[in-house]
Structure 1
Amino acid sequence: MRIAFGADHAGYELKERLVEYVRSRGHETIDVGTHSLDSVDYPSFGKAAAQRVLDGEADLAVLVCGTGIGIGMSAGKMPGIRCAMVSEPYSAHLARQHNDANALALGARVLGPGLAEMIVDEFLQTPFEGGRHARRVGMIEQPADES
């Protein structure tokens, strides 16, 4: 699998660790930045990583900021991105299995690196179940006035 990573300055160190971790698991990575602790704007990096998924350059995206909320909200506004902001492995599992999430947002200030690795493992190894969930994912993708 090819995974796109994006983070702001608050998520930089955890992103760096997760990029190496995912590579050690045999996956390819695309790192859109940031590449330092200098202050940057999280929407730019969340959208850049999500765009790699939309363009077919990456299968999934992993996004990191202080809480995971801002970067996840930014990516989730992009049509076709289903971003799950989670803080434990079970939700990451269900986000993939039931919601076909294609982006994962994590908070570097609220998660330890070991727990973040466990969450990423669940996210990457869990397939979408389809079936009754496919109809619901289709509903998520519809514009609000068509629901």
Structure 2
Amino acid sequence: MKIAFGCDPNAKDLKKVLMDEARNLGHEVVDFPSDDPIYANVAIAVAESVVKGEEDRGILLCGTGLGVSIAANKVPGACCACVADIYQAERATLSNNANLLAMGAQVVGPESAKEFMKAYLGATFDPNSRSAPKIARISEYEKEQK
């Protein structure tokens, strides 16, 4: 899987840890810059790239994970879930078909973040699941807004 990683300066260290872990798991990593203190810029860039299909999924990091998640979700076609536990990370894919995951470097530690990322990347959305109509409704609404 090809994964885009982006963060603000608060999360540079965690981004490096997660990129290394992703490589160790056999994934291809695309690193987006981390020097811009305006987290929305990197979040939007990563989300646009994932939505265009340049990467399969994206991982976004900031202090809380909230800001990058909100910014990414402004990109049509982006579905970014901000998580703080392993169950949420797994369900981001299984129940919500999230193409981006956000975490907070000041909220979760590196070992937990690695486990969350593995759970997220290891799950696959089932288009025949009971969640499928719920996800379809979100997509329909998004298309109605254009």
1:43 shift after superposition: 0.3
Query: Would you say 1:122 and 2:119 are equivalent positions?
Result: yes
Aligned length: 144
The aligned amino acid for 2:117 is V
State the match for 1:100 in structure 2: 97
Distance verdict in 2 for CA 1:127–1:145, change over 3 Å: closer
The aligned amino acid for 2:23 is R
Residue 45 (structure 2) aligned to one of 48, 72, 93: 48
Matches within 5 A, 1:12-51: 12-34=12-34, 36=35, 40-51=37-48
Distance 2:95 2:80 in 1: 13
Distance 1:103 1:7 in 2: 13
With normalisation by structure 1, the TM-score equals 0.92
Query: Would you say 1:10 and 2:7 are equivalent positions?
Result: no
2:65–2:102: 8 Å Cα contact kept in structure 1? yes
Residue 135 (structure 1) aligned to one of 133, 136, 139: 133
With normalisation by structure 2, the TM-score equals 0.93
State the match for 1:111 in structure 2: 108
1:79–1:141: 8 Å Cα contact kept in structure 2? no
Q: Which runs of 4 or more aligned residues in structure 1 lie more than 6 Å from their structure 2 counterparts after TM superposition? A: none
The aligned amino acid for 2:31 is D
Distance 1:56 1:130 in 2: 19
Distance 1:144 1:129 in 2: 21
Superposed CA RMSD in Å reads 1.7
Taking every aligned residue pair, what percent have the same amino acid on both sides?
A: 38
Query: Would you say 1:65 and 2:65 are equivalent positions?
Result: no
The aligned amino acid for 1:4 is A
Distance verdict in 2 for CA 1:145–1:51, change over 3 Å: closer
